[in-house]
């Protein structure tokens, strides 16, 4: 066996249905007495219910989280943190809300309770991506990693099918890249394969019948495991490209991941035959990249960057920014390779190993 290092991270996970009711208990366990809820406007009803349940422990709700965690929004939220004297944060929503909670935590080291309502998976990681002046910059710190994550299947039942599909594939991307991470290990590999299989089977059924609790449970389980992968090992080409594209052109996060993933897998495939063999097994196909491209079609997702707001003139800019700073990747990258990947993703063409 290849030598490896594995570090278990101390995030408390509460998983089930109706688990949102445990938030006051979790706040008490953390010793919190002045809790600020951060959320988005789409989660107004859920946030109001949690605020009511917190009672005197709750000091306010900030509903202004938006995509890509703009620094300006975080600064507005920080003013409310100061005004209320908050000693902890409850983040209720998707990846954008989780990002805002993390942005507050890295500036204050306040404890976080995160309640995901999508399949983003970022709630399990110590990684924060923030956008300023048209560029998205990531950082990693243990201050960013939440203390508690509460997964409530019931909160996902009303997640629209279109968002469910792309959010789930976004989560799969974390698990896929964990398989060929420079610091991969057999424990994370087991979790990654389990996550990929769970999501690959569940997402089409979730889109077909959004109220299917069994499928929703499997998808949320897969998203949790994918998040553990994201928070345990390094990411590579796929995540670098998605951060570059999202931050540069303000593209929707999950949709960008959904479009890019098959192309990133195809590009790295020649360098990781062992990983491709594992993916063939869990996906039940000889063409993992093609299966991921087909999955996007099965869940009704758009498969071209041009269809989600990117201009063709951005291909060269994205290529330059993606190569501007070196990062670990199983295959050495050059301008022609990266540009060809982005161009195929832009046009919505099937993935092709190059």
Structure tokens belonging to residue 291: 């299966």
pLDDT for residue 1: 73
- The CATH code of the domain at 12-156 is 3.40.50.1970
What local confidence, expressed as pLDDT, does residue 119 receive?
96
Record the tokens describing residue 61, joined without a space. 């709700």
Nearest to 45 by CA among 117, 123, 153: 117
Q: Looking at residue 76, what is its pLDDT?
A: 98
R_g (Cα) of the chain, nearest Å? 19
CATH homologous superfamily, domain 161-347: Dehydroquinate synthase-like - alpha domain (1.20.1090.10)
CB-based contact 168:134 (threshold 8 Å): no
Tell me what pLDDT residue 354 has. Answer: 60
b/e per residue 284-297 (b: at least 16 CB within 10 A) = eeebbbbbbbbbbe
**Contact in structure between 119 and 155 (CB atoms under 8 Å):** no
Which pLDDT value is given to residue 326? 85
Q: pLDDT by residue for the chain (354 residues), tens digit each?
A: 788 888 888 899 999 999 999 999 999 999 999 999 999 999 999 999 999 999 999 999 999 999 889 999 999 999 999 999 999 999 999 999 999 999 999 999 999 999 999 998 999 999 999 998 878 888 999 999 999 999 999 999 999 999 999 999 999 999 999 999 999 999 999 999 999 999 999 999 999 999 999 999 999 999 999 999 999 999 999 999 999 999 899 999 999 999 999 999 999 999 999 999 999 999 999 999 999 999 999 999 999 999 999 999 999 999 999 999 888 999 999 999 999 999 999 999 999 876
> What is the Cα–Cα distance from 7 to 18, expressed in whole angstroms?
30
- Alpha-carbon distance of 274 to 233, in angstroms, equals 18
CA distances from 328 to 178, 180, 235, 248 (A): 12, 10, 8, 21
Please report, for the chain, the start and end positions of each structural domain, with discontinuous segments joined by +.
12-156, 161-347
Per-residue CA distances from 212 to 12, 14, 160, 189, 200 (Å):
27, 21, 13, 28, 15
């Amino acid at each position: 066996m290849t030598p490896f290092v594995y570090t278990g991270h101390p995030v408390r996970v509460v998983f089930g249905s109706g688990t949102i009711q445990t938030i006051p208990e979790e706040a008490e366990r953390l010793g919190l007495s002045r809790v600020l809820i951060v959320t988005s406007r789409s989660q107004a009803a859920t946030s109001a219910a949690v605020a009511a349940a917190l009672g005197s422990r709750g000091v306010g709700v900030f509903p202004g989280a938006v995509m890509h965690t703009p620094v300006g929004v975080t600064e507005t939220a920080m003013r409310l943190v100061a005004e209320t004297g908050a000693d902890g944060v409850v983040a209720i929503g998707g990846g954008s809300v989780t990002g805002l909670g993390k942005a507050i935590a890295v500036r204050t080291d306040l404890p976080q309770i995160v309640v995901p309502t999508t399949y983003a998976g970022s709630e399990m990681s110590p990684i924060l991506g923030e956008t300023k002046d048209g560029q998205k910059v990531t950082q990693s710190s243990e201050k960013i990693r939440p203390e508690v994550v509460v997964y409530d299947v019931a909160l996902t039942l009303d997640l629209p099918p279109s968002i469910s599909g792309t959010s789930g594939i976004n989560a799969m991307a974390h698990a896929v890249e964990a398989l060929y991470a420079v610091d991969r290990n057999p424990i994370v590999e087991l979790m990654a394969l389990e996550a990929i299989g769970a999501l690959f089977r569940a997402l089409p059924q979730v889109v077909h019948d959004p109220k299917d609790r069994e499928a929703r449970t499997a998808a949320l389980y897969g998203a949790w495991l994918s998040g553990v992968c994201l928070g345990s090992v390094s990411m590579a080409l796929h995540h670098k490209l998605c951060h570059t594209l999202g931050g540069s052109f303000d593209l929707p996060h999950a949709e960008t991941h959904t479009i890019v993933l098959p192309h990133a897998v195809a590009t790295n495939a020649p360098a990781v035959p062992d990983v491709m063999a594992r993916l063939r097994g869990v996906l039940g196909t000889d063409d993992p990249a093609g299966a991921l491209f087909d999955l996007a079609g099965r869940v009704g997702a758009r498969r071209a960057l041009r269809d989600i707001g990117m201009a063709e003139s951005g291909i060269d800019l994205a290529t330059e920014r993606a190569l501007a700073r070196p990062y670990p990747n199983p295959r050495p990258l050059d301008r022609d390779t990266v540009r060809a990947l982005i161009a195929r993703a832009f046009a919505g063409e099937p993935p092709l190993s190059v």
